[in-house]
Structures are given as C-alpha cells and as structure tokens.
C-alpha cells in the first residue's frame, strides 16, 4: 500500500461509516503518513502542534484510533509502554523481538509462521483478521 492508496483507504472508511471529512482529520492523516516509525499519540500531537497549534490532543488521539480501525495503521502495544502507531505503507506485516533488558525491539517477519497461524485459526473455526507476535528475550547487545 503506497501513500495515496492509504489515504484512499482511510477516506473510504470514513465515508462508509457515515463520518465526516474534516480539516483536522486531513492534517492528522498527512502528518501520520509522513512520520517515522512507531509514533505515540503524544509524539504525533507534538509534531502537528508546530504547524497546527489549534488541533487538540484528544482529536489526535481519536483519529489515531480511526487510522487503526481503517486498517492503514498498526498498533503496537508492548508491556505497559504507551501505545505506538505505525503507517502500513509498502512494508509487509512484521512481528517484534523485544529485549527484556534494554527494552529495544527489532522487526522480523516469517511467512511460514504467518501461514501456520492462518491454518491454526481455520482449524478452530476462527476467521483471522490480524495478529500480534512478540518474542521476548535478550538481544545481541545485551548478551
């Protein structure tokens, strides 16, 4: 999914749910899609605030939820850390290896695992929509 595709997906989602396309929503959409990875509500709010001081924290928060619901954002919750969001653009889905010592995390992906997950869900009469795989352990640096 590229940038414009992502915008379309979001706008369609808004329309289909009978919601409205506001200026704030567009600003937040743009800002979010051009951020670096793993941004928190607070991070995004601070970025937006510079050029759009009128937009409130609650609005950013609400719209990040919408971005997630629409499917163009991934939500990353690790432990008790604050929720992070990440645009789903070109890259494939990925999981995380999380270091229990330094709290850093790296992204990984394994097609075989993904396929087995789908099989596992099917075997239980379950329609998989999304998933979260976190492997906790000790990273290279902390060994």
State the residues that interact with DNA by CB under 7 A: 14, 18-25, 40-42, 54-59, 61-63, 65, 77, 80, 82-83
Shortest spacing between CB 135 and its own copies, in angstroms: 4
The phi and psi torsions of 135 (rounded to 5 degrees) equal -110, 120
Residue 3 contact, options DNA, its own copies, none, Cβ 5-8 Å cut-off depending on partner type: none
Q: What angle do CA 75, 142, 108 make, to 5 degrees?
A: 35
Task: CB nearer to its own copies: give 89 or 135.
Answer: 135
Taking CB under 8 A as the rule, does residue 120 contact its own copies? yes
Residue 117's contacts (CB-CB under 8 Å, 6 or more residues apart) are 128, 131, 133
CA dihedral sign, ordered 81, 83, 88, 92: positive
Q: Please, are residues 87 and 35 in contact by the beta-carbon 8 Å criterion?
A: yes
In the range 87-116, which residues lie near its own copies by CB under 8 A?
97, 99-100, 106, 108, 110, 112-113, 116
Q: State which residue, 52 or 117, has the beta carbon closest to DNA.
A: 52
Least Å from the CB of residue 109 to DNA: 24
Task: Report the largest interatomic distance among the alpha carbons of the chain, rounded to a whole angstrom.
Answer: 52
Tell me how far, at minimum, the Cβ of 42 lies from its own copies, in Å: 17
Q: Measure the CA–CA gap between 45 and 35, rounded to whole angstroms.
A: 12
Site residues for its own copies per CB under 8 A: 77, 79, 97, 99-100, 106, 108, 110, 112-113, 116-117, 120-121, 124-140, 143
């Amino acid at each position: 999914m590229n940038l414009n595709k992502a915008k379309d997906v979001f706008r369609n989602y808004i329309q289909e749910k009978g919601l409205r396309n506001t200026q704030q929503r567009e600003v937040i959409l743009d800002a979010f899609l051009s951020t670096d990875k793993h941004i928190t509500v607070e991070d995004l709010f601070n970025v937006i605030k510079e050029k759009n001081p009128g937009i409130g924290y609650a609005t950013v928060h609400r719209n990040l939820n919408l971005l997630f619901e629409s499917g163009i954002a991934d939500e990353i919750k690790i432990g008790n850390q604050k929720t992070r969001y990440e645009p789903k653009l070109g890259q494939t889905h990925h999981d995380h290896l999380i270091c229990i010592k330094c709290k850093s995390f790296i992204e990984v992906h394994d097609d075989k695992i993904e396929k087995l997950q789908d099989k596992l869900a099917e075997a239980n009469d379950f329609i998989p929509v999304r998933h979260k795989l976190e492997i906790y352990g000790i990273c290279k640096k902390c060994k």
